[in-house]
Homo-oligomer: A and B are copies of this chain.
């Protein structure tokens, strides 16, 4: 009961950081997956990403349970809910893209796939950094600078998608190959959209508390 009145508030921050750390791990595994040949551990890396996604699900569930047991939260209840759900979304789309590379038997790893994986890895590092920075809201300008960096990468990802699709239509004539790569490109671009959603939630938190 006392622990309910005097919650260990840092727990929420630890849970956020856990999800953010899983995102970084998945982004790393994604880059490794792209560098492997089809019979050289690609499936194992997709499975690893799926496991990281399950652990994030579990972490989201734990956060919600803690939220229901806690009277006084360090930041607004809805912000905690939104933040952990948006972090979860990032991993969902990484997993969706990775599993489609396996399912669609994509053998031709285009330069654009590598570029998306690089942008998503950089975004994941920024997400991890900004989530860690949340613990101390006394320096909002640094937090907002990180959010702007995440938005910048989302713009870059958007431009990349346009160029990737233009080249695909020019150089690939097989419609099925186009449909498959288009879907994977779009899923990888959505990863950076979801990182931007996290930045938006964090901007909101900073607006309220700093």
Contact = CB atoms under 8 A, between A and B. Distances in A.
Q: Binding site of A, secondary structure by majority: helix, strand, loop or mixed?
A: helix
Tell me how many chains of this kind the complex includes: 3
Nearest to A174: B175
Contact of A180 (B78, B169, B173, B183): B169
Contacts of A99: 162
A100 to B, nearest CB: 7
A145 to B, nearest CB: 12
A81 interface: yes
A7 to B, nearest CB: 14
Interface stretch (A110-118, A123-131, A200-208): A200-208
A130 to B, nearest CB: 15
A148 B58 CA distance: 12
A176 to B, nearest CB: 6
Interface in A60-103: 61, 64, 67-68, 77-78, 81, 85, 92, 96, 99-100, 103
Interface string A152-170: 0000001000110110010
Nearest to A76: B78
A206 B103 CA distance: 39
The residue among A85, A103, A173, A200 with the most chain B CB atoms within 10 A of its own CB is A103
Given A78-B204, A81-B204, A103-B165, A144 B68 contact: yes
A174 to B, nearest CB: 9
A178 interface: yes
A182 interface: yes
Contacts of A206: 68
Interface in A28-70: 61, 64, 67-68
A104 B168 CA distance: 10
Contact of A203 (B64, B158, B165, B200): B64
Report the 7 A-B pairs with minimum CB-CB distance, sorted nearest first: A175-B175, A103-B166, A77-B207, A78-B204, A99-B162, A103-B162, A81-B204
